Amino acid sequence: MRIAVDAMGGDKGPRATVAGAARAVIEDPQLDIQLFGPAGLLDDEISRLPRPLAAAASHLHLCDAPDIIPADMRASQALRRGHASSMARMLDCVAAGEADVGVSSGNTGALMALSRRALGMVPGVPRPAISTAIPTRGDGRCYLLDLGANVDVSAERLVDFALMGDIMARHVDGLAAPRIALLNVGVESTKGSLAVQQADAALRQVAGIDYLGFIEGDGVFAGQADVVVCDGFVGNVLLKASEGLAKMLVGRVQATFEAHWGSRLVGMLARPALRRLKSELDPVRYNGASLLGLAGIVIKSHGSCDAQGFYYALKRASQEVSRDLPSRLEAELDHRRPSSGPLSGGSVDMDDGQQEL
Amino acid sequence: MRIAVDAMGGDKGPRATVAGAARAVIEDPQLDIQLFGPAGLLDDEISRLPRPLAAAASHLHLCDAPDIIPADMRASQALRRGHASSMARMLDCVAAGEADVGVSSGNTGALMALSRRALGMVPGVPRPAISTAIPTRGDGRCYLLDLGANVDVSAERLVDFALMGDIMARHVDGLAAPRIALLNVGVESTKGSLAVQQADAALRQVAGIDYLGFIEGDGVFAGQADVVVCDGFVGNVLLKASEGLAKMLVGRVQATFEAHWGSRLVGMLARPALRRLKSELDPVRYNGASLLGLAGIVIKSHGSCDAQGFYYALKRASQEVSRDLPSRLEAELDHRRPSSGPLSGGSVDMDDGQQEL
């Protein structure tokens, strides 16, 4: 399997991406990874890999790309001026069939716009939707989409998100009948915006999906559904607020134990448990968001992730390749849409207005 | 101070409201509380108050109301058929000037619609906005609004939410210059929906407020702002998802310690710290949401709260009364609106479509 990596994206840059790539290779020697970025800089990073990871070097291939897409560059600018960037060249490599999947921690809006141009879309899908798994009660997980690619969406797009989530959960995660729910401010049919109400009515007409109806915010983490659908504004706020809250709570857990435990012995005993807890709550565990609806496979890694997080994104990438997600979407999406609700052509094309994950 | 209480709202019914009211009276003997509900039932609850709370009985006045607004009743139905309900009679009492404030744990949509009919609105505000304080890092707190009263909002309404939040934080909490932020999917001016972008532009024109610009989901809990403004769909999802996540994380904290700590001694030592932690993370700590923009004062208590939570809602109620929030809103709101952006008259009036808190 060949993975193309934009080595220059994310807050931690090539230090995280190169080490993450090396770790993925060590674990799976079938992997070949093409690293895109300024060749000299990447060469340095590879030569600085510590001993156990250095063995991966023969599977890490340098692909020179002089430019970088800054985190605050608009998607429209990236489309115009980003041709020599590590992100664009990584995507060109996927588009040319020289890699099976592309991975980047960089600017989400730019990645979406450049991916769409380089790879095209599954027929009938106007823009990618972004989806990631979030942890739920009882060690479960749940796909949430959209996470910011589409801030103003029609009922038809919400239905598409539900179908794409269903296809992903079945084929990538092997669930026989994923439970699909639509996020709303109440569970009664009269609640919510017009788009949400129309999408609910349409989803009830779709055969072959386990559609639960509306779900409220507290139901997401309760593990009531395997796929939760919402517009990109709501999904982005939910995901980021959850990251912020988790960080705050972990801080309070630590402070509680530090403030109230006089005994040094108890503090020492608590430390390993707290460490485990912190890693369990770490959102990076599920790092690797899918850009669903592209005619190829692109994984967006969290911008703040470290080598370990980037490694998870690479694992996610190889999972999606082995299940050939875009072909599944293409084969199943169109004929599963409710016949009464054809895709509206009126999707707003304003990449610059989108999210930053 | 006289507080009118809908004693029949909420999952725990009069058991929670009567005991919460008694506790509030014990703490502040200046309080007189009118309890609305079936008189016989409430009388029973009062007679069953345990010893320390029983002393409050002389300040608890029974006001018979035979009917109850069910949690799933539509607002439109409540308007038509709810006249003899505990909620409607409680609001009539406030409207007649026989109480300074009304408090209910009941059906939020019904409470909003009945409050608006009974008390009217501050001039220029078409519908109430719901706001509550949420805990932030470093023991801070932040007002979030709207929480579900308005699911599709214009830029003008978002500006109003910001101004109302500012007035509340200044007068009720005594902040000299509350930091106001608009929730969005990114901090750049090109991000987000049209309404959010227009509201941002308008808020930059308002003199006398400390407007920070956009804030992302993770900034809310980081304590970056004192007032965070968003539409009711987003606010409702954020609040409920946070409740769900907090519950899940507290469960994991407990499970972590139970799973990994072999020593019984350590488990026993950890218990008090875990108990403290649980109460610190309890969302009920800030129970008591304001229905901003009403010409009177009504506090919505969380539907699942117990006596302790209801007591907090009553405390919130007396705080708002002592600062006379509606008069402040009436005096300040109109002339602080940006002159270029008059309130659009096009607010959607569909109470049934709103949230359940």
pLDDT single digits (tens) B143-161: 999 998 888 899 999 999 9
* Confidence band, pLDDT 50/70/90 cuts, at residue B347: very low
- What are the Cα distances from residue A280, in Å, to A288, A303, B102? 17, 20, 43
Tell me what the mean pLDDT of segment A163-182 comes to. 96
Average pLDDT, chain B: 88
CA A43 to centroid of chain Cα atoms: 28
- A269-296 pLDDT, tens digit per residue, is 667 766 776 666 665 567 899 999 999 9
Top-confidence residue, B338 or B316: B316
CA distances from A4 to A61, A97, A297, B145, B296 (A): 9, 10, 11, 43, 62
Looking at chain B from residue 259 to 278, which residues have their Cβ under 8 Å from any Cβ of chain A?
A: 260-261, 263, 266, 269-270, 272-273, 276-277
Residue A94, helix vs strand vs coil: helix
| pLDDT of amino acid A341 | 47
At residue A345, does pLDDT exceed 50?
no
Average pLDDT over residues A245-265: 71
pLDDT category, B356, cuts 50, 70, 90? low
Neighbours of A40 (CB within 10 A): 9
Question: In this structure, are residues B355 and A193 in contact, taking their beta carbons and an 8 Å threshold?
Answer: no
Give the integer Cα–Cα distance in Å for A242 and A238: 6
Higher pLDDT, A340 or B50: B50
- B1-128+293-323 and B134-285 in the same fold: yes
> Which fold, B134-285?
Isopropylmalate Dehydrogenase (3.40.718)
Q: At A348, phi and psi to the nearest 5? A: -75, 130
* Domain map (residue ranges) of chain B: 1-128+293-323, 134-285
- In this predicted structure, what is the pLDDT of residue A186? 87
Query: Residue range B96-117: average pLDDT?
Result: 96
- The region of weakest confidence among A61-75, A270-284, B281-295 is A270-284
The pair of structure tokens assigned to A286 is: 């599920």
Contact between A69 and A87 under an 8 Å Cβ cutoff? The reply is yes
Q: What CA–CA distance (Å, rounded) separates A266 from B25?
A: 42
Query: What CATH number was assigned to the domain covering residues A1-128+293-323?
Result: 3.40.718.10
CA atoms in the 13 A half-sphere facing the CB of A193? 23
- Higher pLDDT pick, B117 / B247: B117
pLDDT at residue B33 in the model: 98
- CATH (residue range A133-283): 3.40.718.10
Q: How far is A323 from chain B (nearest CA, A)?
A: 31
Q: How much is the pLDDT for A66?
A: 96
Query: What pLDDT score was predicted for residue A250?
Result: 78
Closest in B218, B252, B257 to A241, CB measured: B218
CB contact under 8 A, A237 and B237: yes
State whether B233 and A185 contact (CB < 8 Å). Answer: yes
- What region, left, alpha or beta, does residue B288 occupy, with left being phi > 0 and alpha being psi -120 to 50 degrees? left
Could you say which of A249, A353, A355 has the minimum Cβ distance to residue B246? A249
Interface check B339 vs A, CB under 8 A = no
